[in-house]
């Protein structure tokens, strides 16, 4: 359990661009291997399946921000004692029923807080998003960056202020 916690925390400690490149390399290899196999066996080339899609971007966000949500949820799991699980089993609840009727109500506020923290961090994430995003897909951070780099500061301010207000 401690090893998993440390591995999960590494994504948040490593810069987003490093995480993006670390994710892009194996997925690009997988895309190439899949295309080679399909071309060899079926004479078809399908292009990028994983790289340059929303799938790889979401995967990068999970790797990058798992520690944020994990720590919030782990702290709320302290409210659930083993005796609560035992009592639930004694009363005939299944594992799903125990999760739905005991764990989820006790953890609801922490799950909501974790979701908000991850949402705000994803909204601000720029390096991984720029590297992994599909074409013609702009988040607020990417839009603010592209407008600011074009020196259209008045237009960039709207996206930037939205990020700041949501972050508060």
Query: For 12-22, how does the pLDDT look when each residue is reduced to its tens digit (9 = 90+)?
Result: 888 999 999 99
Q: What percent of the chain has pLDDT over 70?
A: 99
User: Looking at the domain assignment, is residue 153 inside a domain?
Assistant: yes
Q: Is residue 97 part of a domain?
A: yes
> Are 92 and 156 in the same domain?
no
Q: How confident is the model at residue 103 (pLDDT cuts 50, 70, 90)?
A: confident
104 inside domain: yes
67 assigned to some structural domain: yes
Tokens, residue 93: 């609840």
Residue 138 pLDDT: 86
Please tell me whether residues 111 and 147 are part of one structural domain. no
- Report the pLDDT value the prediction gives residue 149, as an integer from 0 to 100: 92
pLDDT of residue 10: 85
Alpha carbons 49 and 94: distance in angstroms, whole number: 39
For residue 132, tell me if it sits in a domain. Answer: no
Does one domain contain both 100 and 166? no
93 in the same domain as 61: yes
129 within domain boundaries: no
**What is the value of pTM for the model shown?**
0.81
Residue 71 CB neighbour total at 10 angstroms: 16
Same-domain check for residues 117 and 151: no
Mean pLDDT of 126-146: 89
Residue 44: the pLDDT is 86
Whether residue 40 has pLDDT greater than 80? yes
Indicate the DSSP class of residue 134: P
- Asked if 57 and 106 sit in the same domain, the reply is yes
Residues 103 and 164 in one domain: no
| Segments forming the whole domain that contains residue 143 | 138-168
Work out whether the CA dihedral 72, 74, 75, 77 comes out positive or negative.
positive
Q: Are residues 58 and 107 in the same domain?
A: yes
Which residues are CB-neighbours of 44 under 8 A, at least 6 positions away? 38
> 78 and 118: one domain?
yes
Q: Based on the domain organization, do 47 and 99 belong to the same domain? A: yes
Instruction: Confirm whether 51 is domain-assigned.
Output: yes
Please determine, for residue 27, whether its predicted confidence score (pLDDT) is greater than 90.
yes
Domains identified in the chain, total number: 2
- Do residues 64 and 100 share a domain? yes
Whether the pLDDT of residue 1 is over 70: the answer is no
Q: Which residue has the higher pLDDT, 2 or 163?
A: 163
120 and 73 in a single domain? The answer is yes
């Amino acid at each position: 359990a401690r090893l998993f916690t440390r591995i999960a925390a590494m994504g948040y400690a490593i810069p987003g661009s490093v995480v993006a490149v670390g994710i892009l390399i194996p997925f690009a290899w997988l895309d190439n291997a899949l295309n080679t196999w399909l071309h060899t066996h079926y004479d078809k080339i399908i292009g990028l399946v994983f790289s340059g899609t929303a799938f790889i971007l979401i995967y990068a966000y999970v790797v990058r921000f798992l520690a944020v949500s994990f720590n919030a949820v782990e702290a709320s799991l302290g409210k659930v004692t083993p005796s609560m699980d035992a009592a639930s089993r004694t009363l005939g609840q299944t594992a799903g029923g125990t999760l739905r009727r005991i764990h989820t109500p006790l953890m609801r506020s922490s799950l909501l807080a974790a979701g908000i923290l991850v949402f705000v961090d994803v909204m601000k994430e720029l390096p991984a998003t720029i590297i992994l995003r599909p074409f013609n897909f702009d988040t607020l951070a990417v839009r603010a960056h592209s407008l600011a780099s074009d020196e259209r500061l008045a237009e960039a301010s709207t996206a930037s202020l939205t990020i700041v207000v949501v972050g508060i």
